[in-house]
Each structure stands twice: as C-alpha cells, then as structure tokens.
C-alpha cells in the first residue's frame, strides 16, 4: 500500500524563524537539543539534497507496514490556532515570576535561559530553585479549554487507523486527559505517555523514546510518529519510526529525519487509503 501524505511547505523565512523563536521556543514541551540526542539529525537544515519528503508523486510515503500510530498532543491533535498553548505559556510566565522573584521581563529572560541550558523551563527551575514539579505541572496546565473545539472529524479519522494508537506528550497527564476528553478522542487511544511517565525527562531525549516503546511493546519500525516540533521527530526516526511533521516547524531546524510533512493532522489522515489495509 502506497499512501500519499499531504502537501509540504516552503522553507521558513528568517522573519518566521525570529518570530517563532520568540514565541514558540518558550512553550512547554519544546526542548533544546538534548545531550544524548542521536548524532544523525544534526545535519544542516533544509539541505536541497535532503529536503523533507512531501508525499507527492514519487515521494509518497509507504505506511503499509505501520501497526502503531503515535501522536504528540499539543498543536498536533488540535490546531495551534485554538490557543491552548498560548494560555499554558502565560501560566509558565506567571509561575516563573513567583518562583524566581524577578519582574516579569527578567523572569522571561531567565526562562529562555533555562530552556537553552536545561532543555525545559521546569528542568531549569528544579536545578536552580526549590520548586515543586507537581505544582508546576498542575498550575501551568490548569487553563480553560473553551477555545478547544470538539472534533468528530478527528475522532473519525483516528478511529479508522488500523492498529494501536498512543499519545506521547511532554505535557502532564491531567492536561492530556482534559484535552483528549474535550476533543472527543479519549476512547480511541491505547495509552498515553506523559511527562510523569518520562521521569520529567522530556522529548527529544532518546531515553524517553526507548522507555515509551518498552512500556507498550512497540516495534519502532512499524510505528509512525506525528509531531509539530521538528527536533522531537529526530530520535523517533533514529529508532526506525516513520516521522511526519505537522505544521511548518515554526522556523526550527528541519532535516532528513522528517519523512513527510502536512499542514495539519486531518489533512494527512483523512485522505489515507486505509480500506486497502483492511
């Protein structure tokens, strides 16, 4: 079975990169490159000889061997335009001000520094301050989900996928549970692997991916992973998974560890000729 993915994207512009670095890099769950990240994905971005495949024509993505479907949660299983992560970022900013005792602008600078030096805001806080990780996760995720739209279309698209389905998120369990319930997809998944399951060591740490596949008995070579953060796809690819970037990557580094791209998850899943696999 040959399956065509959705259309790809033009390379991000310098302006896009600047804007996304200001906003996107501070989001919970977006990590800086991890110390034990595999070496393969560190090649320069957007090399003309190794662009991410778009699934069009000869580059169509073969998913015939896939029996496990793995999804990031935030900005992957629902569109970023619905604003959930913007609310979470606001909570992170507020938590930082309380935790470090600095004015908001200085706390914001420090939060970006934590991201660069420790991979996550929480990891930086834990290394430098006496912080309650559970309190952090609870407070930053305690946002209203009114803007998040229930999606029967997403439920239908997920339900027709052959095999098991999992969520792999750097967010907290309670957040994943609330978001999935709101979208209407809770019962469609065989498991959720959240930050608590990672011992607070988030994607893209390869050890976290190893722990994930061991927990659920997943053969990486028969799994496909959908993510909106490009670097989180790298260790998945290194393990043998097929990788699909959802969205344009917000200006972050892209490379040949990305097998296909799609502007949004529905545009990738809905056209899949899955009846052939039944």
Q: Which residues bind Mg ion (CB under 5 A)?
A: 72, 74-75, 228
| CB-nearer residue toward Mg ion: 124 or 204 | 204
Rounded to whole angstroms, the Cα distance separating 232 from 229 reads: 6
- Please give the Cα distance from 99 to 108 (Å, whole number): 12
Cβ closest to Mg ion, residue 228 vs residue 248: 228
Query: For Mg ion, which is the closer residue by CB, 85 or 131?
Result: 85
The CA distance from 123 to 136, in Å, is 11
Closest CA to 185 of 154, 228, 145: 154
CB 188 to Mg ion: min, Å: 18
- Specify the residue, 99 or 254, whose C-beta has the smaller distance to Mg ion: 254
Q: How many residues does the chain have?
A: 278
Q: How far is the CB of 165 from Mg ion (least distance, A)?
A: 16
DSSP string, 13-61: PHHHHHHHHHHGGGSTT--PPPTT--SGGGSPTT-TTSPPP---GGG-B
Closest approach of Mg ion to the CB of residue 117, in Å: 22
Cβ at position 228, least distance to Mg ion in Å: 4
- Whichever of 99 and 195 has its CB closer to Mg ion, that residue is 195
CB of 230 to Mg ion, least distance (A): 11
């Amino acid at each position: 079975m040959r399956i065509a993915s959705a259309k790809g994207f033009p390379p991000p512009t310098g302006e896009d990169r600047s804007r996304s670095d200001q906003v996107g890099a501070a989001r919970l769950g977006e990590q800086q490159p991890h110390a034990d990240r595999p070496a393969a994905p560190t090649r320069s971005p957007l090399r003309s000889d190794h662009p991410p495949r778009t699934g069009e024509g000869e580059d169509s993505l073969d998913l015939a061997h896939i029996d496990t479907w793995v999804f990031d949660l935030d900005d992957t299983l629902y569109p970023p335009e619905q604003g959930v992560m913007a609310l979470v970022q606001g909570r992170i900013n507020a938590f930082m001000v309380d935790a470090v005792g600095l004015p908001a602008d200085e706390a914001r600078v420090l939060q970006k520094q934590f991201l660069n030096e420790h991979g996550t805001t929480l990891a930086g806080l834990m290394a430098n301050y006496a912080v309650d990780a559970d309190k952090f996760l609870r407070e930053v995720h305690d946002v209203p989900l009114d803007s998040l739209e229930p999606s029967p279309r997403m439920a239908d698209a997920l339900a027709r996928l052959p095999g098991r389905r999992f969520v792999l998120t750097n967010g907290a369990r309670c957040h994943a549970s609330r978001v999935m319930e709101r979208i209407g997809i809770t019962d469609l998944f065989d498991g959720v692997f959240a930050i608590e399951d990672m011992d607070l060591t988030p994607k893209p740490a390869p050890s976290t991916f190893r722990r994930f596949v061991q927990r659920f008995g997943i053969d990486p070579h028969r799994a496909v992973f959908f993510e909106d953060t490009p670097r989180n796809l790298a260790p998945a690819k290194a393990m043998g998974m097929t990788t699909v970037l959802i969205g344009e990557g917000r200006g972050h580094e892209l490379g040949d560890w990305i097998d296909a791209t799609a502007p949004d998850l529905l545009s990738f899943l809905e056209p899949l000729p899955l009846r052939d696999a039944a």
